[in-house]
Amino acid sequence: MSVNSSFSLPWVLGTSGATRGGVGSATSSARSAVRTTPDTVSFGDSIPPVVGFTDYTRLGASGQWQFDLTNILTPTSTGVPAAARSPEEQKADDAAIKQALALIEVGSYDDARQLMHDLLAENKTNAAAVSALGQADLAEGQYTDAERQFLRAHALNPTVGYDNDAQNARVLQGDDASVLAIARRWVSTSARRDEGIRVLITLTQRSPDNAAAHLLLGDAMLVAKDANNGLMQYSIAIGHADTKLLGELEQRMASLVEKLPDSAFVRQLLGKTYLKQGRYDAAVRTLTEAKNLAEDPAGYGHDLAAAYVGLGRASLARGELSTALTQFAQAKELDPTAREVKRAMAEGLLAQAEQHARQHDYKAAAAEYSQMTSLLANGGDKALRLRAADGAYAVGRTLMNKRIAAGGDIAEEVGAFQAAHELDSSNATYKQQLATTRVALGDQLTADDELEAAASSYRAAWELFKNNLTYRDKAIDAFVAHGDDRAFNLNYTAAIEAYRQAYALNTSNGTTKQKLAGAYNTRGLDYLDQELWAQAALDFREALALFPDNATYQHNYNLVSPWDPNG
């Protein structure tokens, strides 16, 4: 599973204020819950029990995180005594606060503030509304303003705990290191653990690459028996951890695998730590076990493919080409569209092509360079492309020299020069050589009476140099010759297509225009003999469109115009 480390955790979990009610309301369940867990997040040799864990392997890819917002998003009171507001007014205030919290969650901070300002204009003592203003400030990183709003809410209702929110906002005014140090002290005791978790969530929001914060948050959540979220924090931490933290995470994951041997997700996290450490054998083994445990193994292919890529590159560095290609192929089977997998495959093919060239197997080398073009499409690694282009061109030149010296088929060198051009299209030498070779191939095909293929080869040369009229005219002549051959054999449809290709290359060429119109008219007459009136009408119409003043075409069309579906 690929975990997106830049996700935005629900803002409300950064504070506790959104859970508060007003005067006379109960403290939130998150505040009042009795903790029975140890007063430490230093695991030592043991991991706290993972209570109620469900395997959410695909969670990261879907973007659906497992924070329970039920209590947080549903305030219990508007913050004033019941006598001051009717039940209907309290219900409306509750709905407005809930709407403001939802707006803050999606980043619409100004809209949320306006909604709360409107509410406070009618009910100035609504502590929950003031707290919601603090939440908006906190979400935007305006910690000083958030502290002021929470203190204001606390003054309106000192029984809920808004002062704790103010203290959290004050802590968050420090730098990351100081915030992390305070949070570490807080989560080590049950009395302050909730506040420490809230501070850590906000810290990971503002510094999503802070692996230490994610690791500590994961530890604290597991101690708080929030296993799903704790494991997701570990997953994010793995993506950003340095060597030391990876060692700590490996210990966590190994212990969890022992406790949850059937969890594909936990085993995958252990495999990802091996992958980040460059321990590819262990990563392949562990990630394969995770994939085999998963109900839906589709989400496990990316990491496992990356591990095979690591193995393959290590094999390639040792000169074990065959092994490397096998490992790259396994990676491609698991994650065929991944850019890094394609690049690794190209690295393997390049090594193989260079080996074949050294062994004078230039045909095989040319084929491998051709395969590289699709793997390195859309950019790829520039240095790799240039190296491959140079190799492909050298192979093409060798094949050309061998053909000139001893005869043979020109098609193999065309493939090599085509690969060189595609890999480095800015190289004028490669481009010119490809065009020249395509013309030579066209001449060879013409001599072999393969006129359609010859025409295509000439046209490909002209498309490289559209100012070269010789290339264009060769293509036109070959298409016309192919059309004449097809018309002689009464294959009017193939003749029309060949003449159409020739006409498209030069619409001012009267000969090709006349041949195209004549072929349409001849096929129309053939349809007429078969009493296929509609088809005949369409062909006569095409001929007439090319030569509107042609009386024969007009006469033929008039015969069947009532059946023209486009008439």
**Among candidate residues 179, 250, 220, the one with its CA nearest the CA of residue 38:** 220
pLDDT exceeds cutoff 90 at 40: no
Confidence bin at 83 (pLDDT 50/70/90): very low
Provide the token pair at 63.
């973007």
The pLDDT score that the predictor gives to residue 49 is: 45
- Residue 350 in any domain: the answer is no
- Residue 560 in any domain: the answer is no
Tell me how far apart the alpha carbons of residues 102 and 194 are, in angstroms, rounded to a whole number: 22
Quick one: 199 and 250 in the same domain?
A: no
pTM of the model as a whole: 0.76
Tell me how far apart the alpha carbons of residues 116 and 130 are, in angstroms, rounded to a whole number: 7
pLDDT exceeds cutoff 90 at 9: no
- Residue 357 in any domain: the answer is no
The pLDDT score that the predictor gives to residue 237 is: 97
Quick one: 182 and 292 in the same domain?
A: no
Q: Rounded to whole angstroms, what are the CA distances from 300 to 60, 267, 316, 536?
A: 12, 11, 25, 59
Tell me how far apart the alpha carbons of residues 33 and 563 are, in angstroms, rounded to a whole number: 84
pLDDT digits (tens, 9 = 90+) for 420-449: 999 999 999 999 999 999 999 999 999 999
CB distance 16 to 314 below 8 Å: no
| Sign of the alpha-carbon dihedral angle for 186, 190, 195, 199 | positive
Quick one: 47 and 194 in the same domain?
A: yes
Tell me how far apart the alpha carbons of residues 470 and 118 are, in angstroms, rounded to a whole number: 78
Provide the token pair at 32.
């009042």
- Residue 312 in any domain: the answer is yes
- Residue 367 in any domain: the answer is no
* Average confidence (pLDDT) over 350-365: 97
Q: Mean of the per-residue pLDDT values for the chain?
A: 87
Q: What percent of the chain has pLDDT over 70?
A: 85
Q: Kindly give, in sequence order, each residue whose CB lies less than 8 Å from that of residue 526, ignoring residues fewer than 6 positions away.
A: 492
CB distance 98 to 70 below 8 Å: no
pLDDT exceeds cutoff 60 at 54: no
Q: Residue 256's domain is classified under what CATH number?
A: 1.25.40.10
* Average confidence (pLDDT) over 520-526: 97
pLDDT exceeds cutoff 60 at 36: no
* Average confidence (pLDDT) over 297-326: 96
Quick one: 198 and 80 in the same domain?
A: yes
CB distance 403 to 416 below 8 Å: no
**Among candidate residues 391, 386, 338, the one with its CA nearest the CA of residue 368:** 391
Residue ending a domain, choose from 302, 336, 370: 336
Quick one: 81 and 157 in the same domain?
A: yes
* Better-scored residue on pLDDT, 23 or 102: 102
The pLDDT score that the predictor gives to residue 412 is: 87
The distance from CA 534 to its chain's CA centroid, rounded to whole angstroms, is 49
Lowest-pLDDT range, 4-18, 334-348, 441-455? 4-18
* Average confidence (pLDDT) over 68-90: 52
Q: Kindly give, in sequence order, each residue whose CB lies less than 8 Å from that of residue 74, ignoring residues fewer than 6 positions away.
A: 98
pLDDT exceeds cutoff 60 at 25: no
Confidence bin at 277 (pLDDT 50/70/90): very high
CB distance 102 to 73 below 8 Å: yes
Quick one: 202 and 247 in the same domain?
A: no
Amino acid at 133: L
The pLDDT score that the predictor gives to residue 384 is: 95
Lowest-pLDDT range, 70-84, 239-253, 278-292, 313-327? 70-84
Q: Rounded to whole angstroms, what are the CA distances from 438 to 51, 167, 210?
A: 69, 76, 56
The distance from CA 463 to its chain's CA centroid, rounded to whole angstroms, is 33
Q: Which domain holds residue 110?
A: 11-236
The pLDDT score that the predictor gives to residue 566 is: 86
pLDDT digits (tens, 9 = 90+) for 114-159: 999 999 999 999 999 999 999 999 999 999 999 999 999 999 999 9
pLDDT exceeds cutoff 60 at 395: yes
Per DSSP, helices labelled H in 123-261 are 127-139, 143-156, 162-171, 176-187, 193-206, 211-223, 227-240, 243-259
pLDDT exceeds cutoff 60 at 52: no
Lowest-pLDDT range, 160-174, 402-416, 500-514? 402-416
Apex 429 CA angle, 427 and 431, nearest 5: 70
Quick one: 274 and 225 in the same domain?
A: no
Quick one: 221 and 251 in the same domain?
A: no
Tell me how far apart the alpha carbons of residues 66 and 172 are, in angstroms, rounded to a whole number: 24
- Residue 101 in any domain: the answer is yes
Q: Which residue has the tokens 């510094």?
A: 207
- Residue 124 in any domain: the answer is yes
**Among candidate residues 543, 504, 545, the one with its CA nearest the CA of residue 527:** 543
Quick one: 138 and 210 in the same domain?
A: yes
DSSP string, 310-348: HHHHHHHHTT-HHHHHHHHHHHHHH-TT-HHHHHHHHHH
pLDDT digits (tens, 9 = 90+) for 222-242: 999 999 999 999 999 999 999
Residue ending a domain, choose from 314, 336, 358: 336
Q: Rounded to whole angstroms, what are the CA distances from 282 to 6, 231, 262, 270?
A: 27, 21, 18, 9
Tell me how far apart the alpha carbons of residues 481 and 490 are, in angstroms, rounded to a whole number: 14
CB distance 67 to 221 below 8 Å: no
**Among candidate residues 302, 276, 279, 280, the one with its CA nearest the CA of residue 291:** 302
- Residue 232 in any domain: the answer is yes
Q: Kindly give, in sequence order, each residue whose CB lies less than 8 Å from that of residue 55, ignoring residues fewer than 6 positions away.
A: 263, 264, 265, 266, 294, 295
Tell me the longest C-alpha to C-alpha distance in the chain: 106
**Among candidate residues 157, 143, 158, 90, the one with its CA nearest the CA of residue 119:** 90
Quick one: 177 and 286 in the same domain?
A: no
Amino acid at 165: D
CB atoms within 10 A of CB 354: 19
Quick one: 133 and 107 in the same domain?
A: yes
Q: Rounded to whole angstroms, what are the CA distances from 22 to 104, 115, 156, 163, 377?
A: 20, 18, 8, 14, 61
Quick one: 32 and 85 in the same domain?
A: yes
The pLDDT score that the predictor gives to residue 407 is: 81
Tell me how far apart the alpha carbons of residues 354 and 319 are, in angstroms, rounded to a whole number: 13
**Among candidate residues 10, 5, 28, 18, the one with its CA nearest the CA of residue 168:** 18
Domains contained in the chain, number: 2
Tell me how far apart the alpha carbons of residues 385 and 434 are, in angstroms, rounded to a whole number: 17
Residue ending a domain, choose from 336, 363, 394: 336
Tell me how far apart the alpha carbons of residues 272 and 76 are, in angstroms, rounded to a whole number: 43
The pLDDT score that the predictor gives to residue 377 is: 80
For the chain, the distance separating the N- and C-terminal CA atoms, rounded to the nearest angstrom, is 59
